[in-house]
Amino acid sequence: MSVSVGWMFDLSDKTALVTGAGQNVGAGIASALASQGAHVLINDLLPERAAEVADQVSAAGGSAAPAGFDVTDLDAVQAELAKHPPINILVNNAGNGGAEQMRPKPFREMEPAEWDSPIEVNLRGVLNCVHAVINPMVEAGWGRIITISSGAGSAGVGIGVAPYSAGKGGGLGFMRSLALENAQFGVTANSVALGLMDNTAGGDYTEHLARGIPVKRLGTPADIGAICVYLVSEEASWITGQTINVNGGSITS
Ligand SMILES: NC(=O)c1ccc[n+]([C@@H]2O[C@H](COP(=O)([O-])OP(=O)(O)OC[C@H]3O[C@@H](n4cnc5c(N)ncnc54)[C@H](O)[C@@H]3O)[C@@H](O)[C@H]2O)c1
């Protein structure tokens, strides 16, 4: 056995794009990747959010740049990425669904306009970003793609989230197909399916939700950043096509 001392996950020669990284989970993922040496493009629909997180990462000694664009707009994705170094690591984190979860309504009562946004952001946005980065990854013979999903992508978790479930579940299948197509080129593709995060609620409701989780707390951005660091590392090159549930033990399916 040989023993060496140093960073376990050295991402210092990698450029990462984290979408929807202007707050909460995405900001945590961006900060975790930067902490291991990656140069991180902080994307958000709201450029001021992206700029604020990029400033925070830089102030903490990391390397980051803001990249404000809408992941549902393929032209905008391509135009912005042309300004930056090739992307080695893509984390598809941009998503929505919160509003639907606050407004319980069965799918049978929804109008078509109500499923446009959950499908556009959670599914089309993922396809757009992957399409913009996959060929350079294949040519380089190395790449890492993670899509942030939800327990709602594989299980019924409540009334009102059916379109969100469709978007998140579509992402799971997309990652599996991508994994199969690109494993031979050194590109891995995995999903991380989150349980309830600590920005979901507040006050007494947080405590109520936490009681239903085996670990007895909601998830934090740092919980998700840690698994992402591992999945994008060299050491995780044999993990592809998987869905990793990170949820305090909530979902066993
Ligand atoms: N919060 C939870 O409990 C929870 C649970 C399961 C899964 N998830 C998933 O985790 C991810 C992050 O969740 P969060 O709670 O941090 O979300 P959030 O709503 O707090 O932040 C999402 C960010 O994405 C940005 N965004 C939205 N649409 C975009 C677009 N079209 N292009 C670029 N950026 C866009 C928003 O401006 C926002 O800053 C999402 O994919 C979400 O579906 C969250």
77 within some domain:
yes
1 within some domain:
no
pLDDT tens column, 9-47: 999 999 999 999 999 999 999 999 999 999 999 999 999
pLDDT tens column, 161-182: 999 999 999 999 999 999 999 9
56 within some domain:
yes
pLDDT band at 253 (very low <50, low <70, confident <90, very high): low
9 within some domain:
no
pLDDT tens column, 45-55: 999 999 999 99
Q: Is 242 in the pocket of ligand 1 (CB under 6 A)?
A: no
pLDDT band at 204 (very low <50, low <70, confident <90, very high): confident
Q: Which atom of ligand 1 is nearest to the CA of 219?
A: 3
Picking from 10, 39, 70, 22, the residue whose alpha carbon sits closest to that of residue 221 is 22
Is 100's pLDDT higher than 80?
no
The structural domain count of the chain equals 1
Query: Containing domain of residue 119, as a range?
Result: 15-246
User: Which domain CATH number covers 32?
Assistant: 3.40.50.720
Which member of 72, 164, 224, 246 is catalytic?
164
212 within some domain:
yes
Q: Which atom of ligand 1 is nearest to the CA of 152?
A: 6
7 within some domain:
no
171 within some domain:
yes
114 within some domain:
yes
pLDDT tens column, 112-157: 999 999 999 999 999 999 999 999 999 999 999 999 999 999 998 8
